[in-house]
């Protein structure tokens, strides 16, 4: 496999991007948007499954809710982590109030919870608000390939 499959943050199309190419600048073949915007993507319903199962890159999910103080505290740290981790990892946000079925399926007991997926499988999860540095370190600890 010499290509990465990456789900567009705007339209959800699956793009085939050669690994040799600078994927940070890659544009979506369907809608023309940059595949990586540098911001965490809101996912829910079908887009959650599509991101987790179709991306060949690791996918980080921040499960949060608007009423959750620690989640709001962590939001800017998570956004800053996207700038450091993309395009080696895809950062997404799942609003557990809007997506109770997915939260139940994931077995979420408290928020914020971060879950790291790779190849559609859960690699690691952690709960509680974290700083940007802690988020980046936690991801790199569980994905040695991202440490570069
Ligand atoms: Zn697109």
Q: Is the pTM of this model over 0.85?
A: yes
Alpha carbon distance 19, 80 (integer Å): 25
Predicted pLDDT of residue 89: 94
Query: Distance from the CA of 15 to the center of ligand 1, in angstroms?
Result: 8
Query: Distance from the CA of 55 to the center of ligand 1, in angstroms?
Result: 14
Distance set, CA 138 to CA 16, 17, 87, 141 (Å): 28, 27, 17, 5
Predicted pLDDT of residue 84: 94
**Residue 43 burial class via C-beta count within 10 angstroms: exposed 0-12, middle 13-18, buried 19 and up:** buried
Domain segments of the chain as ranges: 38-146
Q: Is 71 a catalytic residue?
A: yes
DSSP structure class, residue 144: G
Extract the tokens encoding 82. Answer: 């996207």
Query: Distance from the CA of 12 to the center of ligand 1, in angstroms?
Result: 6
**Average pLDDT per block of 10 residues along the chain, 148 residues long:** 84 87 86 90 92 95 98 97 93 97 96 96 97 97 78
State the distance between the two ends of the chain, measured CA to CA, in whole angstroms.
Answer: 21
CATH architecture of 38-146: 3-Layer(aba) Sandwich (3.40)
Predicted pLDDT of residue 139: 97
């Amino acid at each position: 496999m010499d290509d990465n499959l990456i789900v567009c943050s705007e339209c959800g199309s699956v793009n085939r991007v050669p690994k040799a190419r600078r994927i940070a600048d890659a544009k979506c073949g369907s809608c023309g948007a940059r595949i990586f915007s540098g911001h965490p993507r809101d996912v829910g319903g079908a887009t959650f499954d599509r991101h987790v199962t179709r991306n060949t890159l690791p996918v980080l999910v921040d499960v949060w809710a608007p009423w959750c103080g620690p989640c709001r505290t962590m939001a800017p740290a998570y956004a800053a982590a996207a700038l450091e981790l993309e395009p080696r990892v895809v950062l997404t946000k799942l609003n557990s109030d809007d997506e109770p079925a997915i939260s139940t399926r994931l077995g979420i007991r408290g928020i914020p919870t971060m879950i790291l997926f790779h190849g559609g499988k859960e690699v690691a999860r952690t709960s509680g608000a974290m700083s940007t540095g802690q988020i980046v370190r936690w991801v790199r600890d569980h994905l040695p390939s991202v440490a570069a």
